[in-house]
Amino acid sequence: MNVSRVEMTDLLPIEELKTLVEPGKVLTDAASLETYGKDWTKHYAPAPSAIVFPKTVEQVQAIVRWANAHKIALVPSGGRTGLSAAAVAANGEVVVSFDYMNQILDFNESNRTVVCQPGVVTGALQQFAEDKGLYYPVDFASAGSSQIGGNIGTNAGGIKVIRYGLTRNWVAGLKVVTGTGELLELNKDLIKNATGYDLRQLFIGAEGTLGFVVEATMRLDRAPRNLTAMVLGTPDLESIMPVLHAFHGKLDLTAFEFFSDKCLDKILGRGDIPAPFESRTPFYALLEFEAVNEDVANTALATFEHCVEQGWVLDGVMSQSEQQLKNLWKLREYISETISHWTPYKNDISVTVSQVPAFLADIDTIVSGSYPDFEVLWYGHIGDGNLHLNILKPDALSKEEFFAKCATVNKWVFETVEKYNGSISAEHGVGMTKRDYLEYSRSPAEIAYMKAVKTVFDPNGIMNPGKIFA
């Protein structure tokens, strides 16, 4: 079916929309359309028709029913920190912002669960958990702005996946409004529930294409004890693999990240983050663990010494205070923000951990063979096989020339991902940026089933159309 844009000459549907929410909660001014019509993806011009801010579940249901009646497409909007254009309204859609559904509704100490509205900021949930002496472990650089609804929509990953898994692992129950406006309560916060299909999981990572999350019960964990980080300089990428293996065997790691020396160069260029140590090496691993007692810290040091003896590590440092821990994390967490200044080509892919060195070498060879002037930066969550490939625009190229060449790079990357049986999107989602490449990771049969599922929950195709599928 054809989902049309709201005709700006026909104000009736918009006037009707205004009656469904509180006064002033439908915006159509140019600045709001520009702000709420996009996420952190920089390649699409925002062009929504209106922004609506519901405050209750009933209002979300009314908006969805209104959209069905008028055949108007809806785009859900959270913290707008996404990197796959899943929250971009580029085609006259109405954006549904969850900014005013931002309350923590309940906390259950025995269940260790928190009931959140979708607009609760990830960092606020983390802080709430900390105040209760507990821990919400899904963490990433944009946690200060991103919202729980968006985390669920993209099944957000981040820096602690090696120990705690993805957002999916922390969702105890969901309330969703489907594409027909129906309210579903999924899993009812149970740990054990063997009653057939777990529909909750379908809505996690669906990028709002099946329905909108209107309430989520999130699990919390015990607070980690004395988190301690090490940054280790390695002579090459291959050496990070035995380092990971050595530390994994000895410590219960909470993170294992990596970045190249080119990334460190950009970080140190800011002037506000100290170098981890004096020497420079081609790659760095950042690992974290709970130093619960002196034995654990000594084990970490002994493992470090073993890695040095083997030639896998050339230099290293271990945090001795919370401030040092924070400073070491800045080396990794600030990379994305720091290089955004260069409007880089970005990609987010995954392969199995053991394949990482070969995969990365293949891409390096292909890219440098054809575009020797490209500055290629690698960083990411190497402990779970998730690599972030970023390429900075050479000064000599215009943005248009650069991104035209990057379209070719995209194809090479996805062909290589397919060769390694990996994923074209590890944690950023498909959105609009990768919808045309889905078949590199998913079979035609899988895609057909995914489309069939969408039709079940969203028969009129109004829920975030054009995302995941073209």
Q: How far is the CB of 150 from ligand MLT (least distance, A)?
A: 13
Residue 102 interacting with ligand MLT (CB under 6 A): no
Q: Which is nearer to ligand MLT, 66 or 345 (CB)?
A: 345
Q: Which is nearer to ligand MLT, 211 or 380 (CB)?
A: 380
Whole-angstrom CA distances from 40 to 45, 361, 435 are 12, 29, 17
Nearest to 156 by CA among 86, 231, 240, 229: 86
Of residues 136-175, which lie at the interface with ligand MLT (CB under 6 A)? 140-141
Render 265-331 in DSSP notation, one character per residue. Answer: HHHHHTSSS--SSSS--SEEEEEEEE--SHHHHHHHHHHHHHHHHTTS-SEEEE--SHHHHHHHHHH
Among 388, 393, 405, 467, binds ligand MLT (CB under 6 A): 388
Q: Which is nearer to ligand MLT, 64 or 349 (CB)?
A: 349
Q: Which is nearer to ligand MLT, 140 or 402 (CB)?
A: 140
Q: How far is the CB of 273 from ligand MLT (least distance, A)?
A: 15
Q: How far is the CB of 155 from ligand MLT (least distance, A)?
A: 13
Containing 175, the helix (H) or strand (E) segment is strand 171-178
Q: Which is nearer to ligand MLT, 215 or 427 (CB)?
A: 427
Residue 417 interacting with ligand MLT (CB under 6 A): no
Can you tell me the distance from the alpha carbon of 320 to that of 317, in angstroms, rounded to the nearest whole number?
A: 9
Binding mask 357-386 for ligand MLT (x = CB under 6 A): -----------------------x------
Among 348, 353, 424, 438, binds ligand MLT (CB under 6 A): 348
Q: How far is the CB of 138 from ligand MLT (least distance, A)?
A: 12
**Beta strand extents in 179-248 (DSSP E only):** 183-186, 211-219, 221-222, 227-234
Contact yes or no for 245/297 (Cβ under 8 A): no
Among 97, 217, 336, 350, binds ligand MLT (CB under 6 A): 336
Whole-angstrom CA distances from 437 to 324, 409, 424 are 41, 13, 8
Residues for the chain: how many in total? 470
Q: How far is the CB of 348 from ligand MLT (least distance, A)?
A: 6
Q: How far is the CB of 377 from ligand MLT (least distance, A)?
A: 10
Residue 288 interacting with ligand MLT (CB under 6 A): no
Q: With 0-12 CB in 10 A as exposed, 13-18 as middle and 19+ as buried, what is 90?
A: middle
Q: Which is nearer to ligand MLT, 109 or 265 (CB)?
A: 265
Q: How far is the CB of 140 from ligand MLT (least distance, A)?
A: 6
Q: With 0-12 CB in 10 A as exposed, 13-18 as middle and 19+ as buried, what is 133?
A: exposed
Please name the residues in contact with 381: beta carbons below 8 A apart, sequence gap of 6 or more. 157, 158, 159, 161, 162, 256, 257, 426, 427
Q: Which is nearer to ligand MLT, 73 or 367 (CB)?
A: 367
Q: Residue numbers of the site for ligand MLT (CB under 6 A)?
A: 140-141, 335-336, 348, 380, 388
